[in-house]
């Protein structure tokens, strides 16, 4: 039996500790907002926060998340920053198919937490690992700038 | 004010009927079955004979709380149909847009595509095929609501008017909301004829509208096929043959079955299915299977060998797809000529959501949840496989995490396989394709080799053009073959090549359609995805041969009324073609192409950074007739350009001894954030009926980039992808 703190709530579950966090979230807890895209940390669709830092849940064994604060897209709106990232995404109307967007938003929120005034290069570095086949990258960039401005960050 | 919302169409374990009951309860009112018996016939499209009356109740449900649910009969895969199609209805219905909800349609003939005669999302045709139909649906419902109000008040209908989900009677000041009128309206006979609004009176159409599905897609609540969990469901991964067409000879699952959580391993037609409590145990166990394959003839396929054969064929006469004048004579009189070979690879669709299907198979019923573009075909195949009638098969269409054509398989491959698995396991199953399965699972955009020879006269004008294409037919041996192939020529193979717009007196286009074990399929823009590259780079080459400016050269070859001209001129002018001072080491390239009745010109600004191709900016101009949602058009252009750039720069599926050499995003690399150019979209104003927008932005981007690179480096790119070239 392991215990995981996800979006502020404790969850106790029976699972092989080597199982990637992604599949614990999805198959055990039905937190399906976190997506499977590649399984090898190449696409970032599974991006979640561990103690506020963006990680790829598909290559993170659940054992390494024990004792840490896990935040998924379902819990992102609990912070002001998370909410403003989501509202920037809404304003810019970023998503198309939408499948990668949880990962995009989680990566953007982690970036803005670390760098409230991100430079263009910092945005590119933070977002380069999150693939979008629908080509929403330019809108993602605008939404990040908008969210930063809302946070009193980038001008 | 409320925002329009999405009804989650796929509720765990609940049948559609139970779900409808549930949603009614949630609304605190009765969902009015807007039942309107159909009668009479009317034209659904300007140029089509009367075919079918579309009762509004199939598409519109008005609840007592005034919320309006639009049932959308096209699959939402990012292209925006959950917003644009409701706009068509809401415009004529005079509905309050903020109270619109969307639900995906079940499979029923009333939801058939007006052109294809089956439920299908593809061919950039959702708007053009629904344009008349859905506006009439909305208008019919509005007429009935007004009639119901007039009858209730005892006033002439002509004194009433509908606006913002209310019927008003100005003289008396009376008003009634749609929710209060729906019940009475539902009992009235369908109107014989309805008048549609003139474009000048549109309130929604032509205005930039936010997507209805955005809220669900930014908080994790949007349900894709992979997100469906039903009680008692097992997750299934399948070990498929490493070679197309291979079969299991023998297998051992002894070790695999020891993995905790694994329920069993089953021989199914496509391989060995491993069923487990979740993805992870299924994956671990699948990797432990010992399987001996009978690989069959597919094992002989290797890309270099196939390329050699294709290029050989390209120099021999094929079936004639188009012939004008006499090319042999034309070349004799040509002042200069050029001949070239093109190499274009297989491409995977690589949608972000790998394929997946949930099947709950009972003795007399089969329920399927999946992101499909092809409900009617999938249902027919599922029914036939499970030995049921089609009406015993129910399909819930979830959101699609990208489609790009892959989810409209002419053999219904992924649904067929999942039903076979459900039959073997006899428990609810979710069949999941890993990224590797999806990438190596075939159904690719065909590989092509083209040979082209073109000559110009002394005045620089092209006088002869001989183009031979070699590649598999997508529709061969499918149910589409009968109506998409004529005289042995698959129309999708030569689209964009046989109908080039340029006036060339001696022109011939030949086609070879070899067959092999690699399954092929439509991929965003289908044949155009390769023909635009060949044609538009060769035209550019002729312009250079003639010493002419590529834009002026094209304009001189296009008839005066051609819609190509408008987009070409608009893109060139917005890009500052011939005027803008470019930074050192930058160059522009242009291409123009028609597909799905829409015209797109793109100008790409490129440079080389440490020998690597860098695209700085793409200026696109589009003429897709009347525009429903300009923001949607903009999104689709951005999307189509990125999709095309991914293929142009990096995309290739190759084979060695029948095995696909690429497996995941590290070796089949879509465009990343850091490679993204600035994209500008300009729309040509038009009063013509709307045409496609999901695909037409893809074809011109590869040739625009290649043409820019030629200007920059003097090197002609005739092989895709471009990242295999060295610019040292």
pLDDT digits (tens, 9 = 90+) for A45-74: 999 999 999 999 999 999 999 999 999 999
B 98-157 residues with CB < 8 A to A? none
Q: Which residue has the higher pLDDT, B23 or B53?
A: B53
The answer to whether residue B430 neighbours chain A at the CB level (below 8 Å) is: no
Taking 80 as the threshold, does the pLDDT of residue B222 lie above it? yes
Contact criterion met (CB < 8 Å) for B278 and A131: no
Taking 80 as the threshold, does the pLDDT of residue B383 lie above it? yes
A32, A70, A82, A99, best to mutate vs chain B, most B CBs in 10 Å: A99
Contact criterion met (CB < 8 Å) for B353 and A35: yes
Bridge-based pairing state of the strands B429-432 and B234-240: parallel
Q: How far is CA B527 from CA B103, B320, B404, B477, B603, in A?
A: 32, 17, 13, 18, 21
What are the structure tokens assigned to B340, written together? 């070239």
Q: Select the residue of A42, A45, A134 nearest B639 (Cβ to Cβ).
A: A134
Which chain B residues touch A119 with a CB distance below 8 Å?
none
What confidence tens digit (pLDDT) does each residue in B41-73 have?
222 233 343 445 677 889 999 999 999 999 999
Its pTM stands at 0.94
Asked if residues B668 and B439 have their Cβ atoms less than 8 Å apart, the reply is: yes
Phi–psi pair at B634, nearest 5 degrees? -60, -50
The answer to whether residue B218 neighbours chain A at the CB level (below 8 Å) is: yes
Closest B-chain CA to A85: B218
DSSP state of A117: S
The rounded distance, in Å, linking the Cα atoms of A93 and B697 is 20
Asked if residues B309 and B493 have their Cβ atoms less than 8 Å apart, the reply is: no
Q: Select the residue of B400, B435, B673 nearest A128 (Cβ to Cβ).
A: B673
> Across chain A, what does the average pLDDT equal?
96
List all residues 6 or more positions away from B434 whose beta carbon is below 8 Å from its beta carbon. Answer: A39, B237, B283, B354
> Would you place residue A151 in the very low, low, confident or very high pLDDT band (cuts 50, 70, 90)?
confident
The rounded distance, in Å, linking the Cα atoms of B155 and B147 is 10
B 557-586 residues with CB < 8 A to A? none
B 254-283 residues with CB < 8 A to A? 260, 277-281
Contact criterion met (CB < 8 Å) for A28 and B278: yes
A6, A16, A23, A97, best to mutate vs chain B, most B CBs in 10 Å: A97
Which chain A residues touch B222 with a CB distance below 8 Å?
98
What confidence tens digit (pLDDT) does each residue in B628-660 have?
999 999 999 999 999 999 999 999 999 999 999
The answer to whether residue B642 neighbours chain A at the CB level (below 8 Å) is: yes
> Would you place residue A155 in the very low, low, confident or very high pLDDT band (cuts 50, 70, 90)?
very low
Contact criterion met (CB < 8 Å) for B639 and A96: yes
Which chain B residues touch A30 with a CB distance below 8 Å?
229
The rounded distance, in Å, linking the Cα atoms of B95 and B83 is 14
List all residues 6 or more positions away from B150 whose beta carbon is below 8 Å from its beta carbon. Answer: B156, B157, B159, B160, B169
Nearest to B356 by CA among A36, A114, A129: A36
Which chain B residues touch A141 with a CB distance below 8 Å?
673, 676
Q: How many Cβ pairs within 8 Å bridge chains A and B?
A: 172
Q: Select the residue of A73, A132, A137 nearest B220 (Cβ to Cβ).
A: A73
The rounded distance, in Å, linking the Cα atoms of B252 and B542 is 61
Domains and CATH numbers, chain A: 2-75 (3.10.20.30), 76-150 (1.10.150.120)
The answer to whether residue B208 neighbours chain A at the CB level (below 8 Å) is: no
Contact criterion met (CB < 8 Å) for A35 and B401: yes
Measured CA angle at A103 (ends A102, A107), to 5 deg: 120
Instruction: For CA atoms B306, B311, B315, B321, give the dihedral sign.
Output: positive
B 49-108 residues with CB < 8 A to A? 76-80
Domains and CATH numbers, chain B: 5-218 (3.30.365.10), 225-296+355-432 (3.30.365.10), 303-346+444-724 (3.30.365.10)
Q: Which residue has the higher pLDDT, B9 or B537?
A: B537
Contact criterion met (CB < 8 Å) for A33 and B221: yes
Q: How far apart are the first and last CA of chain A?
A: 48
Taking 90 as the threshold, does the pLDDT of residue B204 lie above it? yes
Beta bridge partners of residue A149, listed in sequence order: none
pLDDT of residue B53: 63
List all residues 6 or more positions away from A114 whose beta carbon is below 8 Å from its beta carbon. Answer: none
What confidence tens digit (pLDDT) does each residue in B413-449 have?
999 999 999 999 999 999 999 999 999 999 999 999 9
Q: How far is A67 from chain B (nearest CA, A)?
A: 22
Asked if residues B299 and B243 have their Cβ atoms less than 8 Å apart, the reply is: yes
The rounded distance, in Å, linking the Cα atoms of B114 and B43 is 11
What are the structure tokens assigned to B642, written together? 């990125």
Contact criterion met (CB < 8 Å) for B673 and A33: no
What confidence tens digit (pLDDT) does each residue in B572-624 have?
999 999 999 999 999 999 999 999 999 999 999 999 999 999 999 999 999 99
Measured CA angle at B725 (ends B719, B728), to 5 deg: 150
> Would you place residue B192 in the very low, low, confident or very high pLDDT band (cuts 50, 70, 90)?
confident
Helix/strand number for chain B, H first, E second: 18, 29
Contact criterion met (CB < 8 Å) for B226 and A35: yes
Phi–psi pair at B683, nearest 5 degrees? -110, 130
The answer to whether residue B666 neighbours chain A at the CB level (below 8 Å) is: yes
Contact criterion met (CB < 8 Å) for B78 and A40: no
| B134 CB-side CA count, 13 A | 29
Contact criterion met (CB < 8 Å) for B639 and A94: no
Q: How far is B137 from chain A (nearest CA, A)?
A: 26
Asked if residues B655 and B416 have their Cβ atoms less than 8 Å apart, the reply is: no
Nearest to B542 by CA among B709, B700, B710, B699: B710
> Would you place residue B109 in the very low, low, confident or very high pLDDT band (cuts 50, 70, 90)?
very high
Asked if residues B649 and B588 have their Cβ atoms less than 8 Å apart, the reply is: no
Rounded CA Rg of chain A: 15
> Would you place residue B8 in the very low, low, confident or very high pLDDT band (cuts 50, 70, 90)?
very low
The rounded distance, in Å, linking the Cα atoms of B280 and B278 is 6
DSSP state of B280: H
What confidence tens digit (pLDDT) does each residue in B690-699 have?
999 999 999 9
Taking 60 as the threshold, does the pLDDT of residue B18 lie above it? no
Nearest to B616 by CA among B695, B573, B680: B680
pLDDT of residue B392: 98
Which chain A residues touch B220 with a CB distance below 8 Å?
31-34, 72-74, 102
Q: How far is B605 from chain A (nearest CA, A)?
A: 17
Q: Select the residue of A31, A73, A97 nearest B352 (Cβ to Cβ).
A: A97
What are the structure tokens assigned to B240, written together? 């498929």
Q: How far is A83 from chain B (nearest CA, A)?
A: 10
Q: Select the residue of B350, B400, B665 nearest A97 (Cβ to Cβ).
A: B400
**Run of H or E including B83:** helix B81-93
Nearest to B604 by CA among B622, B590, B583: B590
């Amino acid at each position: 039996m392991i215990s995981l703190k996800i979006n502020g709530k404790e969850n106790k579950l029976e699972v092989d500790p080597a199982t990637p966090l992604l599949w614990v979230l999805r198959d055990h807890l039905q937190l399906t907002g976190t997506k499977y895209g590649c399984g090898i940390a190449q696409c970032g669709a599974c991006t979640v926060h561990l103690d506020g830092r963006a990680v790829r849940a598909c290559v993170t064994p659940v054992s390494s998340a024990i004792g840490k604060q896990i935040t998924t897209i379902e819990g992102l709106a609990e912070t002001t920053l998370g909410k403003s990232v989501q509202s920037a995404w809404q304003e810019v109307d970023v998503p198309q198919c939408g499948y990668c967007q949880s990962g995009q938003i989680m990566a953007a929120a982690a970036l803005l937490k670390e760098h409230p005034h991100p430079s263009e290069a910092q945005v590119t570095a933070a977002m380069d690992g999150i693939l979008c086949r629908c080509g929403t990258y330019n809108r993602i960039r605008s939404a990040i700038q908008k969210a930063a401005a809302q946070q009193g960050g980038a001008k | 004010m409320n925002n329009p919302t999405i009804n989650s169409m796929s509720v765990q374990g609940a049948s559609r009927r139970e779900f409808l009951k549930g949603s009614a309860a949630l609304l605190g009112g009765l969902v009015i079955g807007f039942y309107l018996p159909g009668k009479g016939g009317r034209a659904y499209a300007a140029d089509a004979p009367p075919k079918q009356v579309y009762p509004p109740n199939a598409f519109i449900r008005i609840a007592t709380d005034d919320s309006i649910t639009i049932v959308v009969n096209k699959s939402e895969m990012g292209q925006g149909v959950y917003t644009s199609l409701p706009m068509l209805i809401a415009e004529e219905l005079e509905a309050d847009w903020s109270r619109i909800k969307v639900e995906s349609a079940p499979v029923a003939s009333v939801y058939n595509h007006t052109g294809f005669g089956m439920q299908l999302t593809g061919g950039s045709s959702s708007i053009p095929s629904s344009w008349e139909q859905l506006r009439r649906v909305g208008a019919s419902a509005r007429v009935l609501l007004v009639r119901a109000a007039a009858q209730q008040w005892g006033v002439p209908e002509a004194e009433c008017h509908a606006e913002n989900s209310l019927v008003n009677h100005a003289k008396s000041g009376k008003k009634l909301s749609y929710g209060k009128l729906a019940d009475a309206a539902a009992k009235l006979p369908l109107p014989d004829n309805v008048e549609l609004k003139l474009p000048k009176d549109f309130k929604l159409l032509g205005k930039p509208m936010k997507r209805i599905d955005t809220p669900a897609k930014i908080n994790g609540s949007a349900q894709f096929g992979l997100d469906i969990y039903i009680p008692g469901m097992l997750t299934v991964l399948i070990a498929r043959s490493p070679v197309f067409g291979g079969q299991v000879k023998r297998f051992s699952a002894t070790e695999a079955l020891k993995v905790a959580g694994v329920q069993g391993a089953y021989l199914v037609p496509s391989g060995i299915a491993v069923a487990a409590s979740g993805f992870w145990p299924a994956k671990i166990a699948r990797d432990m299977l010992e399987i001996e394959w009978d690989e069959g003839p597919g094992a002989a396929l290797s890309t270099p060998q196939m390329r050699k054969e294709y290029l050989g064929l390209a120099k021999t006469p094929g079936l004639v797809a188009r012939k004008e004048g006499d090319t042999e004579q034309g070349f004799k009189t040509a002042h200069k000529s050029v001949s070239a070979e093109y190499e274009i690879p297989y491409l995977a669709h690589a949608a972000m959501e790998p394929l997946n299907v949930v099947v709950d198979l009972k003795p007399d019923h089969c329920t399927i949840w999946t992101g499909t573009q092809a409900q009617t075909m999938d249902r027919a195949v599922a029914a036939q496989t499970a030995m049921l009638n089609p009406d015993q098969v129910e399909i819930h269409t979830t959101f699609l995490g990208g489609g790009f054509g892959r989810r409209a398989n002419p053999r219904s491959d992924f649904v067929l396989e999942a039903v076979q698995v459900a039959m073997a396991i006899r428990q609810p199953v979710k069949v999941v394709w890993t990224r590797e399965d999806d990438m190596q699972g075939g159904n690719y955009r065909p590989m092509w080799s083209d040979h082209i020879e073109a000559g110009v006269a002394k005045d620089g004008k092209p006088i002869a053009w001989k183009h031979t294409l070699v590649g598999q037919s997508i529709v061969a041996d499918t149910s589409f073959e009968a109506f998409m192939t004529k005289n042995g020529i698959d129309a999708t193979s030569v689209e964009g090549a046989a109908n080039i717009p340029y006036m060339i007196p001696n022109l011939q286009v030949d086609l070879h359609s070899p067959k092999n074990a690699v399954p092929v399929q439509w991929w965003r823009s289908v044949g155009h995805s390769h023909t635009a590259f060949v044609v538009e780079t060769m035209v550019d080459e002729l312009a250079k041969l003639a010493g002419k400016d590529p834009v002026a050269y094209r304009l001189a070859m296009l008839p005066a009324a051609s819609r190509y001209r408008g987009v070409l001129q608009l893109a060139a002018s917005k890009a500052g073609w011939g005027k803008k001072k470019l930074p050192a080491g930058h160059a522009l390239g242009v291409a123009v192409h028609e597909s799905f009745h829409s015209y797109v010109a793109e100008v790409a600004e490129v440079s080389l950074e440490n020998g690597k191709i860098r695209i700085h900016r793409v200026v696109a101009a589009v003429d897709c007739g009347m525009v429903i949602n300009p923001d949607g058009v903009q999104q689709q252009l951005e999307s189509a350009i990125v999709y095309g750039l991914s293929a142009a720069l990096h995309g290739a599926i190759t084979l060695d001894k029948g095995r696909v050499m690429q497996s995941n995003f590290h070796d089949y690399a879509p465009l990343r954030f850091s490679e993204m150019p600035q994209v500008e979209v300009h729309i040509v104003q038009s009063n013509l009926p709307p045409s496609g927008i999901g695909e037409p932005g893809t074809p011109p981007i590869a040739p625009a980039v290649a043409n820019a690179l030629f200007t920059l480096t003097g090197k002609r790119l005739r092989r895709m992808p471009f990242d295999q070239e060295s610019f040292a």
